[in-house]
Amino acid sequence: MDKGTLPLDLPNGWKATAHGQETEIEALASDGRILGSVRVNEKARGYALGSCSVRATMGSKAYVGRSWKTDLYRDALAELQRAIAEQDLAFNFQPGHAIVFAGDIYFIEKNLGDSGQVCEADGSNSIAPFYWCFEGETCRLATEQELRHLPITPRLETALRMLTQG
């Protein structure tokens, strides 16, 4: 994708790729590894971390006015940069934490360093090994807002308690 079609400049070494109505921006390390990515959908005026399609706008900001497109991309890049800055914390997941990977929520059962064992949000499957970084996607802690739509379970209550206690 031509970087000239974006309303702002990407950091050095980052790349943008068109995927239908969406633009995926990948943050690349100097050795070419993908550190993370964000997808932007101008039609939906939203973005989502990772390589998953944009389902809804992250946050509650409405993108309107003359600079909506620049604001949308600036916020998407800021969110990706924040997530990359927190990646070191990703490997400190504790049993009971809820994480998001590719738009899905999982509960941590074990942390084995660069991977671990997780349980799907509905409790149906335990998955191991589950890599915290896989094909450019990086796990992150789920937010309280993301967890509030799940059915109340002991796992959910633990994850919410861990979020509020820091």
Rounded CA-CA distance 99/138 in Å is 10
Last residue within a domain, chosen from 52, 85, 118: 85
Q: By the 8 A CB rule, do 130 and 106 touch?
A: yes
Both 105 and 74 in one domain: the answer is no
2, pLDDT greater than 60: no
Last residue within a domain, chosen from 25, 57, 85: 85
Q: How many CB atoms lie within 10 A of CB 61?
A: 13
Note the pLDDT tens digit of each residue in 102-152: 889 999 999 887 788 999 999 999 999 998 888 778 888 899 989 988 999
Both 74 and 117 in one domain: the answer is no
Both 65 and 96 in one domain: the answer is no
Both 95 and 161 in one domain: the answer is yes
101: containing domain: 89-165
Both 109 and 74 in one domain: the answer is no
Both 93 and 36 in one domain: the answer is no
Last residue within a domain, chosen from 24, 56, 85: 85
Please give the model's pTM, rounded to 2 decimal places: 0.55
Both 76 and 93 in one domain: the answer is no
Note the pLDDT tens digit of each residue in 24-47: 999 887 777 777 889 999 998 999
For residue 42, which of 60, 18, 26 has the smallest C-alpha distance?
18
